[in-house]
Every structure is written in C-alpha cells, then in structure tokens.
Structure 1
C-alpha cells in the first residue's frame, strides 16, 4: 500500500469510528456529515469523497470488517462449510452483544430513500468475503461445480437481510437470529451440495430447526 493509500485508509477508519461513536452517544443515525467530519477531524468534503453518502458510512459501521476479519482469522481446523456457519455465528455475536446499537443501524438502512441505497446491502468488502467462502466450498467439493458463486452469495445475503428485518420490527428475538439465519443457509446450501455433503447440511438444518421449534415452545408457554 502506498503512502497515499495508507492515508486514505486511515481517514476511512477515522470517519467510520467517528460515526460509530456518535451513533452510540445519541442512539440515532440521523447525523450530519458535518458532525461526522468534525469528530473524525477531517474536512467536510472528505466523507463525501471517500464514502459518497451517509448511508455508505452506516454500512461501513455495520460491517466493521477489520474486527470481523481478525476474529475470523483466529479460527483453526474448520472445513469450508463450517467456515460459513462460523462466520454467521461471529456476525450474530455482534448483534447479540449490542442489540440496540445494531437495530439503530438496520433501521437506518431500511429507512433509506434512494433506490441505489436500498438495493446495495452488500459493501464490496463484505461481498468479496462471502463470495470467497462460497467459492472455497465449491473448490472443496462441498458445493457443485455448477454453482454460481455470486448468485449463491446474493441468495444467502437475502436470507440474512430478511431475518434482520423481522428482528428490527420485533417479530423475532435476538436469541432466534443465529438459528434463523443458519436454518436458511443450511437449506440453501443443501440444495446446491454434492451428494457427499448434502446429508451433513440437511442434518445441520434440522439442528437449527429444533432450536427454532424450542424457542417457539418457550414463547407459547410464557
């Protein structure tokens, strides 16, 4: 990375950190670019130049790719399919640890007024990460060679987004997030799995199904 690229990356980190701190302090994503720039100690034009919009900054806060990658890198001895579900578990862990903060972020994404902003739920970094996981599963022979990696990644992300939507609108609790996402992922991947891997993915789907059924029984008894 050149000195210019390092400076640009540093400014992006400062802007993301500033937005994260302001959202935590105020409980609101309705922040002005001026406030974000002032907290990050950059010019007013810098957030626009580096992100393009306030919503893009919110997406960057939501992803927190640097911390996620550090946690994910610490996993050892996990096969290609399990890596996908471990990534889900790490992601949901952020939400469970600070639900109100992440609900605020998702509410901001859902309230977006621009068409381009509503459709771009995957940042380039996040898309590349998940596509790499799916591609790894194809190379390992867990998923069929005919699987379109980009379309499968998009399908998985739609499952994730739909689960977040029900959570934001209080239709499901935080405890149901991981089994809900995992159930959808397991079923989708099982449909694209090779014969050798399909039974394992179906078994994983049933594990998540049992967890969801138990949560439903507990809710009914409450």
Structure 2
C-alpha cells in the first residue's frame, strides 16, 4: 500500500478530546497497524532490503513518524509483525489431516514453497537477509519457534518407526534443514527456477530420508524420490 488515504501526521491522534469510545480507538489503532505492516512489506519488496527506514515506512503508511514506535515499540517488532504469515503457515500445517508423518512433512515443504513463490520479491529479500550473518532479520526468521516446528515434524517420523534405530534425530533435522537452505540460496540468486524449487527440496528430503529410513518405509520414500527426480529432469 502507498499511503493513498491522504492521512498524515494527524492520523495518529486518537480523538482530540480523548473522548472517543474504546471500540473506536482500538479500531483506529488496528487500522494504523494494518497500514504499517502492509507498508513494511511493500518497502521490503520494492527496495530489496529487509532493513526498514522508519521515516519511509511512516510516509508510506500515511502516519506520523512516532506512530510505528507507539504501536509496535521497535523496528524489530514491525519485522515480526510483517512475518505474521509464518504463524499463519504454521497454523495451516498444524491442521494437516494426514496421519502419515512423511506426508505431513512433505506437505509442509510444499506449503512453505507456495508462500515463497507467490511473493518472490518479498521472500527473496528476506532469505537474502537469512544468508547475511550480520543482518538481524536472520534471527527473526531462523528462531527457536521455527526450528521447533520443523524438528517436531522430523520427530514424528521417528516416533512412527519410519527412521531406522540409531539415527540421531537432531542430526537428521539439521541435514534436512541444510538441504532446504541450499535450495533457497539457489532460488535467491536466480540459479533455481520457482517451478523447480519444491521438487528440488522434495528430492533432497526423499534421498536423505530414504538413507535413514527403516526397511518398511523405503519404498514409499523411493516413490517420492523418483517422482521429484523425474520432475527435475523434465526441467
């Protein structure tokens, strides 16, 4: 959004007399928060920089310079709010109905990639920040909650008996995560097309998991491996 409402610094006022009903005041705050979040996403997308200029953000949202600080408290909190779709994604993934832990894991990968390729400029910028160890955005994306979400999916495959005894769950999780990150890096720098991003990650996951799988689960993983491999070779 581009501040098209024409509202300016006075937009931050919550009623000159202070007598506005609570519901009206809260609705006004919610609307300003929404405009700031949309403005932040637009700026990240347009500038290719996950670092936000608060002055530019306020101007784009049509609010006073103080408003983003008043409503969010810090630039970090705004970045977290912009990443709220991560929570939406995790909520959707938590409601996957399949009882097959491998199906849930691969479905979670597909859902994540769908988010990324639907808004490539935004997510390429964020993932570029992930690969920059000096950028604070990295810690907002690669945080404990994110890791626990994916670790839980891997642990579920172990609990179901899909993984052979003696395979360390944490090392398996980290290896899969490296596969994911490597594919994302190729996508960010333009070496991997959006159409091949999901198949590439699925192929890596199937190959790693097949090597770690117990005997009864290898055929299912081999089918996934062959399917993703064929998709990649078709280009």
Asked if Structure 1 and Structure 2 have the same fold, meaning a TM-score greater than 0.5 normalized by the shorter chain, the answer is yes
Contact 2:127 2:188 in 1 (8 A): yes
1:104 and 2:132 equivalent? no
Task: State whether structure 2 residue 92 is matched by structure 1 residue 71.
Answer: yes
Is 1:42 the equivalent of 2:77? no
Q: How many residue pairs are counted as aligned between the two chains? A: 197
Provide TM-score, normalisation by structure 2.
0.70
Task: Measure, in 1, the Cα distance between the counterparts of 2:88 and 2:72.
Answer: 27
**Aligned-partner Cα distance in 1 for 2:41–2:154:** 30
Quote the offset at 1:28 in angstroms.
3.2
Checking the alignment, whether the CA contact within 8 Å between 2:126 and 2:137 is kept in structure 1 is no
Q: How far does the alpha carbon of each residue in 1:104-161 deviate from its partner, in whole angstroms, 9 at most, with x for none?
A: 21222334436x9879963111100111111111111111243322221111111111
Structure 2, unaligned stretches of length 5 or more? 1-29, 59-64
Question: Which residue number corresponds to residue 194 of structure 1?
Answer: 214
* Cross-structure match for 1:144: 164
Residues 177 and 62 (structure 1), Cα distance of their counterparts in 2 relative to 1, 3 Å cut: farther
For the residue of structure 2 that corresponds to 1:171, the secondary structure is: coil
CA distance in 1, matches of 2:121, 2:137: 22
CA contact (8 A) 1:62 1:102 kept: no
Deviation string 1:73-114 (CA, Å, 9 cap, x unpaired) is: 342134101110000000000112111221121222334436
Distance 2:102 2:50 in 1: 35
**Structure 2 residue aligned with 1:5:** none
Distance 1:83 1:144 in 2: 19
1:18-167 equivalences under 5 Å are 19-24=40-45, 26-32=47-53, 41-43=68-70, 46-47=73-74, 57=79, 61=82, 64-113=85-134, 122-167=142-187
Q: Which has the larger radius of gyration?
A: 2
| Match runs of 1:160-179 below 5 Å | 160-179=180-199
Q: CA deviation at 1:171?
A: 0.9
TM-score of the aligned structures, taking structure 1 as reference length: 0.73
Q: Secondary structure at the match of 2:185?
A: helix
- The 3 A distance-change label for structure 1 pair 121 and 42 is closer
- Report the CA distance shift for 1:160/1:142 in structure 2 as closer, same or farther (over 3 A): same
Counterparts of 1:36 and 1:199 in 2: how far apart (Å)?
52
Match of 2:6 in 1: none
